[in-house]
């Protein structure tokens, strides 16, 4: 779908949107949704409501603090695998929320929830049904049952938003979605917290036990196999041979492989050079304390971490997967390398570690790129234009 134009908005009075998502854990899609709702509320053009498949979550208080009505499907995280029949109960609760709210738009995020939202939207005659695809469709390979659900969600939605050209191409190739249904809206961040955190560099480095001569490489990614931490540890072992003062900061929630990674670091003889920091709330300050950011993922949709690192003025070394090449300009704001290649990953890390002047120059270019292309104003504006134009079209039918 081509970028939509502004239209007469007089018909938008008292319109409402029900957003639906799997959980309120601290993840990329969840944070993007929170900030999208914040921007929409500022315009006072729509009333916003939220349905979450799972109960609770670290971000729940943030939404409630905004006085946003939150409806829950009541599931626990383990119910999806151990008690999948409870999804039917959650579907009923979503239908109940729609009948209570009577939204003009339902916009659902992430697999399974996009299917549930499309079903509920159609059953309840919601005028505009939108699904959001945030990553490549490799989840269909890991969980076979999700493929038919994705296909039905795509078919029953009026539009499917994607957050990168890579995801756009993947949805067309994998799911055979009509390109006229697709709307490309990039992820966004607020660069201000990352800029203001620069003054905390020395203090944060002291807290982390980093000596002045040590160079910090940071990876921010939950500890999940496809994030490539194992490849990164192998690359670090190679890099340390030439730059022994480099240190790796590993930031992210342990999703089951943390102990394995600690053992791997010890087996490689680099345990003392790796700091496993867990999930953190001080990411801007951690980036300020660092000299280089790295992402070794085997797959991505469009990485928020890359944008955050660039906003902090750090050069990036990342794998050339998903939408990473749409954020990073290879050879100007960072390096792109093939996935699962620790040798080349180490070489590109060393290239920037050994040339701090060029690293700073590339970091500055990345910071400017974020401000030009990946702001919340652009992201929220694109969503609002979609809602306005598509809802007006739906009401004319």
More confident residue, 11 or 240: 240
Residue 320 lies in a domain: yes
Same domain, residue pair 366 and 391? no
Asked if residue 135 is part of any domain, the answer here is yes
Residues 93, 72 contacting (CB under 8 angstroms): yes
What is the average per-residue pLDDT within 214-222?
98
Weakest mean pLDDT among 3-17, 26-40, 41-55, 133-147:
3-17
Q: Is 231 a domain residue? A: yes
Cα(235)–Cα(231) distance, integer angstroms: 6
Q: What's the confidence (pLDDT) of residue 3? A: 37
What tokens does 160 get? Answer: 């499917």
Mean pLDDT over the full length of the chain: 93
Domain count for the chain, please give it: 2
Question: Which region among 12-21, 109-118, 244-253, 260-269 has the lowest average model confidence (pLDDT)?
Answer: 12-21
Across 83-101, average pLDDT: 93
* Domain region containing 48: 10-188+375-396
Does 169 lie in the same domain as 205? no
Instruction: Say if residue 166 is in the same domain as residue 312.
Output: no
Residue 5 belongs to some domain of the structure: no
| pLDDT digit string, tens, across residues 61-70 | 888 888 899 9
Please, what sign has the CA dihedral across residues 88, 90, 95, 96?
positive
State whether 65 and 119 are in the same domain: yes
350-391 pLDDT, tens digit each: 999 999 999 999 999 999 999 999 999 999 999 999 999 999
Residue 2 lies in a domain: no
Cβ 292 vs Cβ 218: under 8 Å = yes
> Rounded to an integer, what is the distance from CA 298 to the centroid of its chain?
15
pLDDT tens digits for range 248-290 = 999 999 999 999 999 999 999 999 999 999 999 999 999 999 9
Alpha-carbon span 340 to 148, nearest angstrom: 30
Q: Return the pLDDT at 5.
A: 40
Cβ atoms of 157 and 129 closer than 8 Å: yes
Tens digit of each residue's pLDDT (9 = 90 or more) over 125-175: 999 999 999 989 888 988 899 999 999 999 999 999 999 999 999 999 999
What is this structure's pTM?
A: 0.89
The answer on pLDDT for 58 being more than 90 is: no
Q: What is the pLDDT of residue 56?
A: 87
Q: What is d(CA 390, CA 182) in angstroms, rounded to the nearest whole number?
A: 12
Q: Does any domain span residue 286?
A: yes
Distance CA 372, CA 194 (A): 16
**CA 245/CA 241 separation, integer angstroms:** 10
- Closest among 276, 269, 227 to 248, alpha carbons compared: 276
pLDDT-derived band at 7, boundaries 50, 70, 90: very low
Instruction: Report, as an integer, the average pLDDT of 77-96.
Output: 86
Tens-place pLDDT, residues 279-309: 999 999 999 999 999 999 999 989 999 999 9
Q: What is the pLDDT of residue 225?
A: 96
Q: How much is the pLDDT for 12? A: 52
Cα separation, 153 vs 147, whole angstroms: 10
**CA-based nearest residue to 387, from 85, 39, 53:** 39
Contact predicate 166/323, CB 8 Å: yes
In a domain, 214, yes or no: yes
What 3 state SS string does 20-34 have? Answer: EECCCCCCHHHHHHH
pLDDT tens for each residue of 308-320: 999 999 999 999 9
The pair of three-digit structure tokens given for residue 320, joined into one six-digit string:
């050339």
- Per-residue pLDDT at 334: 99
Q: What is the DSSP string of 163-190?
A: SSHHHHHHHHHHH---GGGEEE----B-
Residues 41 and 98 placed together within one structural domain of the fold: yes
Residue spans of beta strands (DSSP E) within 4-110: 16-21, 47-54, 70-75, 105-109
17 shares its domain with 99: yes
Query: Are residue 70 and residue 208 in the same domain, yes or no?
Result: no
Indicate which CATH number applies to the domain containing 356: 3.40.50.2000
Residue 383 and residue 366 share a domain: no
Residues 6+ apart with CB under 8 A from 154: 131, 160, 171, 175, 177, 181
Say if residue 106 is in the same domain as residue 89: yes
pLDDT tops 80 at residue 332: yes
Instruction: Report pLDDT for 13.
Output: 60
**What are the φ/ψ torsions at residue 73 (nearest 5 degrees)?**
-80, -10
Contact 24, 53 (CB under 8 A): no
204 and 174 together in one domain? no
pLDDT at 2: 36
How far apart (Å, rounded) are the C-alpha atoms in residues 309 and 217?
11
Claim to verify: residue 55 and residue 184 sit in the same structural domain: yes
Residue 304: inside a domain, yes or no? yes
Instruction: Tell me: do 226 and 365 sit in the same domain.
Output: yes
Spatial contact of 50 and 19, defined as CB atoms under 8 Å apart: yes
And the tokens for 345?
Answer: 């990953």
């Amino acid at each position: 779908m081509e970028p939509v134009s502004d239209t007469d908005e007089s018909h938008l009075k008292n319109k409402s949107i029900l957003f639906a998502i799997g959980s309120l854990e601290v993840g990329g899609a969840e944070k993007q949704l929170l900030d999208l709702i914040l921007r929409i509320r500022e315009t006072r053009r729509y009333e916003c409501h939220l349905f979450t498949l799972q109960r609770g979550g670290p971000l729940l208080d943030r939404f409630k603090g905004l006085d946003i009505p939150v409806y829950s499907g009541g599931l626990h995280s383990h119910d999806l695998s151990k008690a999948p029949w409870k999804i039917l109960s959650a579907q009923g609760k979503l239908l109940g929320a729609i009948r209570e709210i009577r939204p003009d738009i339902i916009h659902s995020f992430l697999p399974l929830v996009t299917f549930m939202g499309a079903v509920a939207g159609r059953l309840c005659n919601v005028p505009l049904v939108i699904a959001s695809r945030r990553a490549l469709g490799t989840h269909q390979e890991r969980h076979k049952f999700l493929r038919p659900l994705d296909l039905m969600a795509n078919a029953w939605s009026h539009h499917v938003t994607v957050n990168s050209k890579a995801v756009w191409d993947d949805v067309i190739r994998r799911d055979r979605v009509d390109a006229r249904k697709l709307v490309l809206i990039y992820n966004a961040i607020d660069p201000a917290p990352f800029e203001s955190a620069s003054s905390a560099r020395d203090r944060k480095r002291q807290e982390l036990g980093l000596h002045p001569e040590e160079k910090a490489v940071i990876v921010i990614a939950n500890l999940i196999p496809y994030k490539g931490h194992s490849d990164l540890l192998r690359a670090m072992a190679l890099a340390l041979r030439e730059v022994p003062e480099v240190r790796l900061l590993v930031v992210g929630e342990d999703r089951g492989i943390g102990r394995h990674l600690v053992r791997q670091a010890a087996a490689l003889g680099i345990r003392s050079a790796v700091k496993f920091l867990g999930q953190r709330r001080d990411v801007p300050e951690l980036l300020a304390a660092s000299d280089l950011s790295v992402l070794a993922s085997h797959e991505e949709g469009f990485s928020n971490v890359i944008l955050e690192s660039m906003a902090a003025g750090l050069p990036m070394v990342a794998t050339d997967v998903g939408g990473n090449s749409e954020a990073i300009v290879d050879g100007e704001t960072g390096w792109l390398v093939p996935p699962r290649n620790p040798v080349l990953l180490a070489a590109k890390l060393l290239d920037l570690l050994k040339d701090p002047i060029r690293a700073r120059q590339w970091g500055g270019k990345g910071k400017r790129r974020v401000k030009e292309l990946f702001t919340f104003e652009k992201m929220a504006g694109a969503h609002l234009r979609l809602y306005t134009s598509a809802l007006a079209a739906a009401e004319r039918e």
